[in-house]
Structure 1
């Protein structure tokens, strides 16, 4: 399969927060103030200027105030401009007005891209500058008047930011625009500080209504405030209106200003008429120092403010708050009379369901709802509602239902792929991860959070149109609860000083989880009533360096006891047992083997709904599996990069335990070299399910398998779950059939799915392995389940982890190896490179091997490993069948910790004990991540062998009934050709 271009399919859906982050790309961070010593002193007021500026910003929740650099003349300005970049230059024109103009021109010639604004000391100085307006405009963009308030500097900076960011922000975030048309420097120098202060204050007040917002969220949401765009003539105003018509939420206009190059005393009225023709829902404000213009404002349905009003600031505040959507939402009847109000979005949503139909029609016609929502930074929601008009709907009830559905869909869409705080109303969904307790998610938790986010932002429907991909409903308890559990229950002594695991378990059993977590669990279980998996998620687990695969515990619970308190107790016990599993003997051995400090490990806990359906008291999915993007045991024309998958019926514990499963390459699912008899022999004979009838189990007594039961494959046939996963061997006609009325062995080969494409399992795996390995930057392993829900298969991703592969390769064919000194040779293996420090070999004597005593052999191997571990050495391990299998009839059922010091592991075939290479997920994952050599040597193979005669000649260090530990005098040399999967060990 060709490599999928991840950049083309990973189109991360922009949430409102994402949009906020991209808004306002240009910000005024550095301002150069050019003012002579006297003017500079006037502004600075004995050093208080910078503090006042910062105070203005801080008061409005603008956390990044610009830095001012003051210079006294052109020479100082040019010196500073050479040193660093400035976003804005403010030139102060005091008693001397010629010099600032000359300075401005010179700077413009050298730095044409930096905006320059001029600030004059008082209104009296304007007459001179305005008489030279054409000359000034060549280098100065706009003139402002210093009115004694530092707010003018905020207005100057925000004026420039809004002008530069206008086009990009309206396209990206549909940001609202307030158009201000004023040609009087005196008045816009007064208006803009008032307007900016009020808009930011109102935006801040709206944000405060949402208590869930974090500090960064507050800062980001400030970016979506409306933009103030200042123009000074009719043509520029019309240009803004035409270009940003759908974004204009208000127009504030003077009455008299230039139109067609000459002053027009009706320009403001004409502009408002033009606006009303385009959209009569846009609030307009005429402002004038002539009181008789109030009548003209009413004639064009505009509000009016007298520029000379003593309450000018209050009147502007009222206009912004009540007309531009910043205040409460006022529900009105058909006459426009107020009948109710909503203070925030949640209150609005609730009252929307109960207001009279006439009020709903009133607001639907005017589309004021989207304006109000936009003021609250609900960009996506507002845009959705703006697409529809009242005429689209048949009745007010239909409008009401539509708006309610848009609100609900918008709320859920924001959560998709995210980690959200616990809310009992939201836990019953698999579109996000719920956080039951604070802190890090741990390794598995991070993997699940990545999966959740990834599948919500990749258009999988385009890649996999015929199969839905999802994750189970998942909640995570962060590691803070683990720390709190140890500390409040005084457990540090028992875990670090008392190494007896039984004592640790007893201490954890009697300890209590925090009341907050217990309360959350109680609410959680009132909603979640299906079987639950309580899984470990240690900080080190599934990491890129040491995955700790299968080291910690997982508990599956029926979660169906009639006594609710028993259900709660089971979940609490499972959590505490997962916590305790860090300190199990297996875990301690693993930590010792990899030289990690157990004190550094912390445990998060994952609670997942178990995927499956209930059949006659047993609960399980139709298919469970593991897939890897790199195949260490390829055959025929399959390449290692094609990956592989193993599948089975029932719970995934069967697959990761290394038992009889069906193996295939997703790239070549139809390629099968096994004979029919081999298929029958290798077919799955039983499966695992959650025993829904179990009531008297005890997790402390019965362990991880307390509520898991093994069922004969015939039970699956009775449940009707073999229909698409198995075939039947018809003895009478010596053929494979899918008629289950025929007597004969059932072969779990998934042939209807893989050979006849009942649903696209193999292509789905191939695509997912392709994109996930790119996303993680390494080969990956995924665990999955397929469940039929209402007859439709759904593919569930349960876990993802990196599969470490040593990239260093050697070519054995190019080596000069003395054939008389070869201890063993393997033509199937994994591992890369050269080892030259192993002297110890532990092997099962093939002459003494008894397939009915494999559990005893496992105990012997464990003892050998412990002895070698005490000496701090590594060794080569050889034995028949599968290492780490759960089925004692197919190999040696060791735990990983039982052989953790083995650096090379060999699986050997014997007569009547054919080798079927280990596929156990957890076992294999540890082998690959710890760079352990892993070889398979079939019985009587021409290209693979073990020289047991040489082994018998070595010094015996320790010998038991079935196994022997020997030591060579000089280190062995292990050659591993990872590309060809061939290996040689020489002595």
Structure 2
């Protein structure tokens, strides 16, 4: 398969917040103010200027106020420009009106890309610059009048930002535009500060309608405010209107300004008519110092204000609030008369369902709904509604339903791939993750959140068209609730002073979860009625360095008891037991092995709907599996980078427990080297499912397996779940068949799926492993299951974690090894480096091994490990079959804590006890993550062996019925070549 370029397929769906961050790419951060000493003093007012500017910005929630550098002449300006980048230069023209223009032209020649604006002292000075306008325009973009208020500097900076960002922001976020047409420097110097202040104040007021703790979100939302675009001629105005007609939400125009190069007293009227030609509903405001123009404004259905009015500020504020979507939404009848109002988006959504049809028609025709929503920073929602006209629908009711559906779809779209606060109405979905309590999500929780977000931002339907990929319905209780639980129940002394685990369990049994959490948990359980998995998610769990795989507890609950309080109690008990598992002996041994402080660990808890279907009183998925993007034990022409997968029927506990599974490479799923007889011997014999008929159990007494039961494979056949996962050995004809009416052993080999492509499991795994390993920057392991829903397979991602693959740094040369002193050699080895400090070896004597006594052997190994741990030593461990398996018939069923001090682990094959390495199990994952040497030595392999005669000659430290602990006089040398997968131990 050709490698997928993740950068090309990862198209993050932009939320409103994402869009906010991309808006306004050009910002005025540094301003160079050129003014002589007197003018500079006039502006700065004894050093208060910068404070006032910052105050203006802060008041409007604009935290990035530009910094001013003030210089007195051209020489100082050039020095400043040579040392710092400026976005804007403001040149002050006072009594001397010639020098500022000359300075401006000099700077323009040297720095043509820096924008320059001029500020004059008073209106009287404008007459001079009108006479030399052509000369001034060569370097000065626009002129403003200093009116004694620092707001003019805000207007100058925002004028430039809006002008430059106009095209990008309208294209990216459909940002609205307020067009101001005014050629009088005096008036636009007064209008722009007023307009910007009002627009930002109104935007701020709208954002504050819905309280939020997200201060950065509030700041970003300010970027979606309408652009205020200033032009001074009829032609410029028409160009803006024609290019951005879909974004214009208001036009404020003078009546008289240049048209065709000459002053035209009808320019404003003609501009309004041009606007009305394509949209009769765009709010327009004509302003003039001649009151008689009121009549002409009314003829074009435009509002009107008098420029010299003492109420100018209030008049503009009323226009913005009433006409541009900033105030409450006023529902109007067919005649435009108010009949109701909405103060928030949620209130608008409710009232939309009940307002008269004529009101809905009135607003739909005018696109006022979209404009009002855009003012509230609902970008995606506003853009969606803008695409449709009222004429698209048969009637008002159809319009109403459409708008309601757009609202609902927009809300769901916002949530997809995100972590949202608990809401009982939203927990029953797998498009996002719900947070039931505050605090970090922990390791597994982070992994699930990553998967959820990734699925929503990669178009997997295109990559895997025939298989739906999703995560189970997931809710996370944050680690803060763990702290609250410990603190409210005063459990510190029990946890950190009393190390007895049974005492901790007793204390947790009687303790109570925080009341708010208990209340939310009950709300959750009233909605979620299918079986639940209550999983650990410690802060350290599934981290890049120490994955802690399988160290903490997971509880599967039937969640079907007729007594609701019993269901709630089971869930609470499971949560408390997951909390307690931090302090289990297994966990403490792991912390000691990695030299971490257990006091630093905190626990989040994942509540997850178990994927599966009910079959005759048992609940399980058709397929569970683990896949890794790196294969430590490849065979045939398979390369390590091709990865591998192991699959089984039933719950995933079977797979991660290291029991008999079907193994294949997703890159070569049809490659099968085993004989029919070997396939029969290695086939799955039983499966795990949740026993839905068992009503009475005690999680504290029965542990993680309280509600899980092992069933023989014939039960799965009766359930109909072997149809696509198994085949039949026809012993009469010595062949494999898929006819289940044939007598013979059932072989769980997934042939219909892997050999005959019933659905694309192998290609899906190959694609997912590829893109996830790219995304995480390391090889990965995923846990998954496949469930048939409505007759179709659905692929569920259950967990993801990094797979530690150490780089190669040892190259074993044959002539560097003393062949006379080789204790063991393995051609299937994992690990890197050279160890020279191990003297102790613990091994199961092959002469005494009894495959029916593996649980007794596990207890012996545990005792050896404890004795060596007390001495602070590491050791080499050798034994038959799989270490860490849950199936005592396939190996030694130790837990990781039972062998935590082993630095090298060897799995040995014996006659009639074939070696099948523990790939895919939690045990194996911990071995790889802790860089423990891990060797496989099959029975009768010409190139791999163990010299038991040498072991028998060493000092015996301790010997039990089946196992022995011996000690060499000098340290062994362990050579591990990870690249060649060859390992040698010499003495």
- TM category (shorter chain) comes to over 0.9
Match of 1:517 in 2: 517
* 1:403 to partner: Cα distance: 0.8
**Is the Cα–Cα contact under 8 Å of residues 628 and 920 in structure 2 kept in the other structure?**
no
Superposition TM-score, scaled by structure 2 size: 0.99
**Is the Cα–Cα contact under 8 Å of residues 467 and 759 in structure 2 kept in the other structure?**
yes
Instruction: Kindly indicate whether residue 230 of structure 2 is the aligned counterpart of residue 230 of structure 1.
Output: yes
Unaligned 5+ residue runs, structure 1?
none
* 1:48 to partner: Cα distance: 2.2
Q: After superposition, give the CA deviation of every residue in 1:359-398 in whole Å (9 maximum; x if it has no partner).
A: 1122222221111111111111111111111221122221
Instruction: Kindly indicate whether residue 816 of structure 2 is the aligned counterpart of residue 816 of structure 1.
Output: yes
Matched residue SS, 1:440:
coil
Question: How far apart, CA to CA, are the structure 2 residues paired with 1:69 and 1:633?
Answer: 66
**Is the Cα–Cα contact under 8 Å of residues 835 and 974 in structure 1 kept in the other structure?**
yes
Question: How far apart, CA to CA, are the structure 2 residues paired with 1:514 and 1:25?
Answer: 46
Matched residue SS, 1:223:
helix
Match of 1:701 in 2: 701
Match of 2:858 in 1: 858
Instruction: Kindly indicate whether residue 914 of structure 2 is the aligned counterpart of residue 914 of structure 1.
Output: yes
Match of 1:614 in 2: 614
Q: After superposition, give the CA deviation of every residue in 1:292-341 in whole Å (9 maximum; x if it has no partner).
A: 11111111121111111111111111111111111111111222221111
Q: 1:125 to 1:814 in 2, by over 3 A?
A: farther
Match of 2:982 in 1: 982
Instruction: Kindly indicate whether residue 361 of structure 2 is the aligned counterpart of residue 361 of structure 1.
Output: yes
Higher deviation after alignment, 825-834 or 861-870: 825-834
Match of 1:284 in 2: 284
Match of 1:583 in 2: 583
Higher deviation after alignment, 69-78 or 586-595: 69-78
Instruction: Kindly indicate whether residue 199 of structure 2 is the aligned counterpart of residue 199 of structure 1.
Output: yes
Matches within 5 A, 1:320-719: 320-719=320-719
Question: How far apart, CA to CA, are the structure 2 residues paired with 1:289 and 1:920?
Answer: 82
Question: How far apart, CA to CA, are the structure 2 residues paired with 1:511 and 1:860?
Answer: 36
Match of 2:765 in 1: 765
Matches within 5 A, 1:723-872: 723-813=723-813, 815-872=815-872
**Is the Cα–Cα contact under 8 Å of residues 659 and 920 in structure 1 kept in the other structure?**
no
Matched residue SS, 1:369:
helix
Question: How far apart, CA to CA, are the structure 1 residues paired with 2:180 and 2:881?
Answer: 83
* 1:260 to partner: Cα distance: 0.9
**Is the Cα–Cα contact under 8 Å of residues 646 and 920 in structure 2 kept in the other structure?**
no
Question: How far apart, CA to CA, are the structure 1 residues paired with 2:875 and 2:983?
Answer: 16
Structure 1 stretches of 4+ with a deviation exceeding 6 A read none
**Is the Cα–Cα contact under 8 Å of residues 417 and 431 in structure 2 kept in the other structure?**
yes
Matches within 5 A, 1:45-84: 45-84=45-84
Match of 2:121 in 1: 121
Question: How far apart, CA to CA, are the structure 2 residues paired with 1:815 and 1:197?
Answer: 82
Instruction: Kindly indicate whether residue 272 of structure 2 is the aligned counterpart of residue 275 of structure 1.
Output: no
Question: How far apart, CA to CA, are the structure 1 residues paired with 2:916 and 2:104?
Answer: 84
* 1:733 to partner: Cα distance: 2.6
**Is the Cα–Cα contact under 8 Å of residues 4 and 770 in structure 1 kept in the other structure?**
yes
Matched residue SS, 2:178:
strand
* 1:60 to partner: Cα distance: 0.9
Match of 2:158 in 1: 158
**Is the Cα–Cα contact under 8 Å of residues 884 and 920 in structure 1 kept in the other structure?**
no
**Is the Cα–Cα contact under 8 Å of residues 809 and 833 in structure 2 kept in the other structure?**
yes
**Is the Cα–Cα contact under 8 Å of residues 655 and 921 in structure 1 kept in the other structure?**
yes
Q: After superposition, give the CA deviation of every residue in 1:545-604 in whole Å (9 maximum; x if it has no partner).
A: 111111000011111111111111111111111111111001001111111111111111
Question: How far apart, CA to CA, are the structure 2 residues paired with 1:528 and 1:731?
Answer: 47
Higher deviation after alignment, 64-73 or 373-382: 64-73
Q: After superposition, give the CA deviation of every residue in 1:66-108 in whole Å (9 maximum; x if it has no partner).
A: 1122222223222222221122111111222222222222222
* 1:814 to partner: Cα distance: 5.2
Match of 1:318 in 2: 318
Match of 1:149 in 2: 149
Question: How far apart, CA to CA, are the structure 2 residues paired with 1:353 and 1:446?
Answer: 39
**Is the Cα–Cα contact under 8 Å of residues 753 and 761 in structure 1 kept in the other structure?**
yes
Question: How far apart, CA to CA, are the structure 2 residues paired with 1:222 and 1:436?
Answer: 30
Higher deviation after alignment, 711-720 or 76-85: 76-85
Matched residue SS, 2:728:
strand
What is the alpha-carbon root mean square deviation over aligned residues?
1.2
Match of 2:92 in 1: 92
Question: How far apart, CA to CA, are the structure 2 residues paired with 1:483 and 1:33?
Answer: 54
Matches within 5 A, 1:224-263: 224-263=224-263
Question: How far apart, CA to CA, are the structure 1 residues paired with 2:726 and 2:736?
Answer: 10
Question: How far apart, CA to CA, are the structure 2 residues paired with 1:484 and 1:956?
Answer: 51
Question: How far apart, CA to CA, are the structure 2 residues paired with 1:737 and 1:840?
Answer: 51
Question: How far apart, CA to CA, are the structure 2 residues paired with 1:658 and 1:14?
Answer: 42
Match of 1:953 in 2: 953
Question: How far apart, CA to CA, are the structure 2 residues paired with 1:334 and 1:697?
Answer: 67
* 1:980 to partner: Cα distance: 2.7
Question: How far apart, CA to CA, are the structure 2 residues paired with 1:807 and 1:725?
Answer: 37
* 1:815 to partner: Cα distance: 4.5
* 1:261 to partner: Cα distance: 0.7
Q: After superposition, give the CA deviation of every residue in 1:276-306 in whole Å (9 maximum; x if it has no partner).
A: 1122221111111111111111111211111
Question: How far apart, CA to CA, are the structure 1 residues paired with 2:305 and 2:814?
Answer: 92
Aligned length: 987
Question: How far apart, CA to CA, are the structure 1 residues paired with 2:143 and 2:919?
Answer: 76
* 1:714 to partner: Cα distance: 1.1
**Is the Cα–Cα contact under 8 Å of residues 542 and 548 in structure 2 kept in the other structure?**
yes
Question: How far apart, CA to CA, are the structure 2 residues paired with 1:213 and 1:179?
Answer: 34
* 1:873 to partner: Cα distance: 1.5
Q: 1:920 to 1:5 in 2, by over 3 A?
A: closer
* 1:213 to partner: Cα distance: 5.9
* 1:920 to partner: Cα distance: 4.5
Question: How far apart, CA to CA, are the structure 1 residues paired with 2:806 and 2:424?
Answer: 45
Higher deviation after alignment, 69-78 or 180-189: 69-78
Matched residue SS, 1:812:
coil
